Structure 1
């Protein structure tokens, strides 16, 4: 790390507050609008040339870093880099992503960042060539994650299209006629832990992902259980969100487990996933939050499948779902690798040549 210099954030970049752009003033276009949490929409006019880097300026989004390659419009809910002062923009993005900006909150009731308070944040910077090499290593991981994410999107749409083609909307059936329904029940809060002891527990959609939920909370006193392949259905706002169980799972009051009577889990999953209109009335019925109870769920009418279609459709969906699961699993490993490398590379504790070996091991 001998070539690195110890400096301050203000010596590396110049931050500036973004600009108002009310929704009524926006027009269709391809210019990304950067807000506090990232890209929030598009516009036909760019305020600045790219590449661009910004961080959330207030609230829960403080310090959330965003990078764009092209021209962009930064909103006043973020601070953007007005001048990179000769540093690599992608490396600056990574640097900002490692700083705990909440420690520099200048607000009172509402957390916020004042760019003048940030100038003296200590930082260490390598030569430009090293900055670019670090950005390349981390960017390769992000690129692979992005490619897998696109694969998942395409595969998901293909699965949805195949399901729609097999449906017979003229002959709806009650959900209880095609699946077993188990409503969740929450264990005692004293049984919860976040160290992996017992059975993984899901109270609602907080941990739902694109296809599978993320493990965050476990319970040593499970009450109602789902098994691998069951569809996990959100029964409280937002009603109708679905994921697939990958292991024995304890379900709380915000989740129901739906299990195909015919042993065709993917067909059932996509049937429920594609039934957005069926859930709308239950989102509107609650006084504060939408919900659906077991009797309502049991009598819910869903499209049926034409004669001989269910087995055929399950055969089409199974390899698609395997590809989705593989891509999502690889993404989890890639993200873990990136997150482990990031702080070490950004502090000079790990050199690029060593990080490249880690990428080879990760198949990048």
Structure 2
């Protein structure tokens, strides 16, 4: 059935940039919506005044509405929470399901399904900034099973996505606790730390230009985009053989030293490391978690260095890795290293489980939507795999 026939309301903000203020009611933009999260995130959020909120918009999202991105990365969709404490910026709409025709959670799952996402990509226009026209909603066809099946599929998808969201919070919290534990150790026991060059704690192995002549199959080529957002439609794959030093495996520390400087723990399957990314290989017996902490503690300084290079893409140089960092002695590592290692492992396991759940969810969803699999069978498959 055409997507447009399953809606009761479509809300937008007239497609114009509205005036913003320093504080007030949240105005979420397209960067707040991700297909990896259930609800909008308040990332770099702006604000509007009460007057703008009351008079500028045609309407506002309600709890359970689907916030749909039309421009930039068309097709990203999230559920409006309860209560809704924001309004939406241009380039996105809030769509409300006609509950007499379709279950809202099923509609949410269907919009995120690979088959519908592929259709959205095929309908978008523009090369520099892709755009999905609201008038093309009628060209999106959504399979509509019976009501009981809709409810079961929607609940299955929501439960899987909720577990993924919990894992992401676990990983984030574990990393926050690790950073705080390390900070407290530096403050309370400074005599157990010595200054060493960052380059003495790890080998920083630069990737190479492995996207050239890529085959489209084989292992993922990790670029800065994949470090920041994971694999997407533009991700490159290559089946070439590369040296061990240019491979990323789960638990490896990757450091993008150019562009948007980022430090990340790799948790995806084995991949190939592209140029502008260091693989941080611990040396002198240092553990992975320590190297990660040390690079993270220097990242703001490195970003400041990169920002000063106004005439070129911001980056750091090899000599910047020789700057000193506070490194715990072997005794200090023995005293709090077990806790740091445990937090590091817990975060990695949560990230890997989320990846498994997302892969299963996205593979099973089309089969459920087209009646080739029952929900209870899908749940059994998940139990066996996770």
TM category, shorter: 0.7 to 0.9
Residue number in structure 2 paired with 1:175: 198
Which of 122, 127, 132 is the equivalent residue of 2:146?
127
Residue number in structure 1 paired with 2:57: none
Question: 1:90 aligned to 2:72?
Answer: no
Question: 1:57 aligned to 2:76?
Answer: no
Q: Deviations over 1:80-128 (max 9, x none)?
A: 2145242221111122223222333366875433333322543331233
Residue number in structure 2 paired with 1:303: 326
Which of 292, 313, 316 is the equivalent residue of 2:316?
292
SS at the partner of 1:81?
strand
Q: Deviations over 1:11-64 (max 9, x none)?
A: 2114525115746247356x6836376136366978232111132212x42222
| Aligned ranges 1:209-248 → 2 under 5 Å | 216-222=237-243, 224-225=245-246, 231-243=253-265
Most deviating of 235-244 and 270-279:
235-244
Most deviating of 325-334 and 307-316:
307-316
Which of 30, 33, 56 is the equivalent residue of 2:28?
33
Q: Deviations over 1:279-316 (max 9, x none)?
A: 1332123322112222232x222223367213333322
Alpha carbons of 1:130 and 1:300: their partners in 2 closer, same or farther (altered >3 Å)?
same
Asked if structure 2 preserves the Cα contact closer than 8 Å seen for 1:225 and 1:248, the reply is no
Residue number in structure 2 paired with 1:113: 132
Q: Deviations over 1:248-289 (max 9, x none)?
A: 875443122332322322212212123233213321233221
Most deviating of 329-338 and 349-358:
349-358
Q: Deviations over 1:170-210 (max 9, x none)?
A: 953322333334344446934x444337xx754x4232269
Residue number in structure 2 paired with 1:255: 277
Asked if structure 1 preserves the Cα contact closer than 8 Å seen for 2:268 and 2:352, the reply is no
TM-score by length of 1: 0.80
Most deviating of 92-101 and 13-22:
13-22
Quote the Cα distance in structure 2 between the aligned partners of 1:61 and 1:252.
24
Which of 183, 186, 200 is the equivalent residue of 1:164?
183
What 5-or-longer segments of structure 1 have no aligned partner? Answer: 1-6
Quote the Cα distance in structure 2 between the aligned partners of 1:92 and 1:272.
43
Alpha carbons of 1:76 and 1:95: their partners in 2 closer, same or farther (altered >3 Å)?
same
Most deviating of 239-248 and 91-100:
239-248
Asked if structure 1 preserves the Cα contact closer than 8 Å seen for 2:261 and 2:299, the reply is no
Question: 1:154 aligned to 2:178?
Answer: no
Measured after TM superposition, the shift of residue 362 of structure 1 is 4.1
Question: 1:141 aligned to 2:160?
Answer: yes
Alpha carbons of 1:233 and 1:323: their partners in 2 closer, same or farther (altered >3 Å)?
same
More strand by share: 1
Measured after TM superposition, the shift of residue 217 of structure 1 is 4.2
Measured after TM superposition, the shift of residue 231 of structure 1 is 3.3
Note the aligned Cα RMSD (angstroms): 3.6
Measured after TM superposition, the shift of residue 156 of structure 1 is 0.9
Alpha carbons of 1:344 and 1:263: their partners in 2 closer, same or farther (altered >3 Å)?
same
Alpha carbons of 1:201 and 1:128: their partners in 2 closer, same or farther (altered >3 Å)?
closer
Measured after TM superposition, the shift of residue 145 of structure 1 is 1.0
Quote the Cα distance in structure 2 between the aligned partners of 1:109 and 1:304.
45
SS at the partner of 2:5?
helix
Asked if structure 1 preserves the Cα contact closer than 8 Å seen for 2:62 and 2:80, the reply is no
Alpha carbons of 1:304 and 1:121: their partners in 2 closer, same or farther (altered >3 Å)?
closer
Quote the Cα distance in structure 2 between the aligned partners of 1:52 and 1:35.
16
Most deviating of 214-223 and 142-151:
214-223
Count the aligned residue pairs.
Answer: 349
Most deviating of 259-268 and 138-147:
259-268
Quote the Cα distance in structure 2 between the aligned partners of 1:54 and 1:265.
39
SS at the partner of 1:354?
helix
TM-score by length of 2: 0.76
Residue number in structure 1 paired with 2:350: 327
Which of 268, 288, 293 is the equivalent residue of 2:291?
268
SS at the partner of 2:367?
helix
Quote the Cα distance in structure 1 between the aligned partners of 2:358 and 2:301.
35
